[in-house]
Amino acid sequence: MNSMWLRHQSKRLAGGPGREIRCRFIILARKDEPTPDYAHHLEHRVESHIFLCVLAYHLLVAIQTTLQRQEIHTSWATVRDLLATHQIATIILPTGQNGVLRIRRSATPEPDHRVLYEALGVPTEIIRLVKTWERNQPNSD
């Protein structure tokens, strides 16, 4: 994409859909303040930022539309805050003989999580159980 065209489009849409896309990006990114314009003065950064904003906007609209079709009428902020409570944990257990066992798994989803996952067609198991054995190398001091 030509950066001059992108800048022109950005200025042209500043009061309309362009502003809405930027606002949606800020909502998705949990930012209180928009990124200052001087942070994107390189051409590839401008293009990347605009691409991410448009992608975030389309993702947000797809999620909202899917939920509304399932008769779930809630704001994006509520969905985001609810899903943020479904955690993934890594448990690190030291073993004998200088070893470490790492177990990574997701928490059991709450009923509210399950409703959203089902409506969006997302599996409730967000990651599979992962066990990793590591052997620490003895210090050669």
pLDDT digits (tens, 9 = 90+) for 64-116: 999 999 999 988 889 989 989 999 999 999 988 788 999 999 999 999 999 99
- Per-residue confidence (pLDDT) for residue 120, from 0 to 100: 92
Q: Are 66 and 106 in a shared domain?
A: no
1 confidence band (pLDDT: 50, 70, 90) = very low
Structure-token match 């950066």, residue found = 3
Q: Are 60 and 103 in a shared domain?
A: no
- Residue 123's domain comprises 86-135
15 contact partners, CB below 8 Å, separation of at least 6: none
The side-by-side arrangement of strands in the sheet containing 130-135 is 88-95, 99-106, 130-135
- The answer on pLDDT for 137 being more than 80 is no
Residue 140: inside a domain: no
Q: Are 72 and 123 in a shared domain?
A: no
User: What span, in angstroms and rounded, lies between the C-alpha atoms of 46 and 69?
Assistant: 35
8 A C-beta contact, residue 89 and residue 133: no
Please count the other Cβ atoms lying within 10 Å of the Cβ belonging to residue 133.
9
- Domain count of the chain? 2
Residue 14: inside a domain: yes
8 A C-beta contact, residue 63 and residue 27: no
Residue 141: inside a domain: no
Q: Are 73 and 40 in a shared domain?
A: yes
**C-alpha closest to that of 94 among 129, 130, 133:** 133
Q: Are 21 and 65 in a shared domain?
A: yes
